[in-house]
Structure 1
Amino acid sequence: MRKLVVLLTVIFAVTAYEIGDIVSARIETCRGCSLNRLPQVKQFVMQDATEYGRLDVHFINGAPPELVVLGEGDKELERLALSHLDRNQCNELVQSKGFSKKAPKADL
C-alpha cells in the first residue's frame, strides 16, 4: 500500500500542471551517439523542432533525446523521453503540449 501511495504521489507531482502553465520547452539531446541510432527522432530534432515557437534545441554530449517542458522562471514542469517515439509521435507530443509551428516568414 505504501508503494502505491508513493507512486501516485510521484505521478501527481509530475503531471500537476496545466497547458496554460507552460511557458516554453527545450529538447535536450546529443548530436550523435544515441540520436544517430534513432533516425526518426533525429529528423524531428534537426528538421521539425526548429519550426515550433517557444521550443529550443540544446545539444548536450551524451544526453538522450528528451523534451523538457518549462514554466515560469524556467522551472522544469516535465521531462519526457523521445527515444521510443517516431517522428510523427514527436510532433504530436509537442503539439499536445500547446506548441504550434511558427508562421512562415513573408518574402520581402
Structure 2
Amino acid sequence: MKVLVLFCAVTALASAYELSDIVSARIETCRGCSLNRLPKVKQFVMEDAPSYERMEVKFITGALPELVLLDANDHELERLPLSQLDREQCNKLIQEKGFTKKQKSEF
C-alpha cells in the first residue's frame, strides 16, 4: 500500500507543470520497424515535426515514437506516446503544447 501511494505522489508531481514551463521538445523514435508500421505517425515525424520551432527528432533504435516535453534546463516534463495518433492528431497535440511552425525560410 505504501508503495502505491508513493508512486501516485511521484507521478502527480512529475506531471505538474504549466504550459509556460515547456521550452522545447524532442520526438524520440526508431527510424525503421516501429515507425514503418505507423505510416501516419511516420509522415508526421519525417515531414511535419522538423517544421516546428524548438522541436528536434532523435532516432533511437527500437524506440516507439514519443513526444518528450522539456523545460529550460532540458529536464523532462512529460513523455507522450504518439503510436495511437494519426498525423493530424500529432500536429494538434504539438500545437496544443504551444509549438508553432517555423517561417518558410527557416526550413
Normalising by structure 2, report the TM-score.
0.89
Matched residue type, 1:29: T
- What percent identity do the matched residue pairs reach? 63
Structure 2 gaps of 5+ residues are none
1:23-42 → structure 2 map (5 Å cutoff) = 23-42=23-42
Structure 1 gaps of 5+ residues are none
Matches of 2:4 and 2:92, distance apart in 1: 30
Matched residue type, 2:27: I
- Secondary structure of the residue aligned to 1:9 is helix
Matches of 1:56 and 1:43, distance apart in 2: 15
1:48-63 → structure 2 map (5 Å cutoff) = 48-63=48-63
Matches of 1:91 and 1:3, distance apart in 2: 37
Matched residue type, 2:71: G
CA RMSD between the two structures: 1.8
- Secondary structure of the residue aligned to 1:63 is coil
1:6-21 → structure 2 map (5 Å cutoff) = 6=6, 8-21=8-21
Normalising by structure 1, report the TM-score.
0.88
Pairs aligned (count): 106
- Secondary structure of the residue aligned to 2:73 is helix
Residues 3-39 of structure 1: per-residue CA shift (max 9 Å, x gap): 8745642442232100110110000000011100000
Residues 48-90 of structure 1: per-residue CA shift (max 9 Å, x gap): 0011000000011111100000002100000010001110110
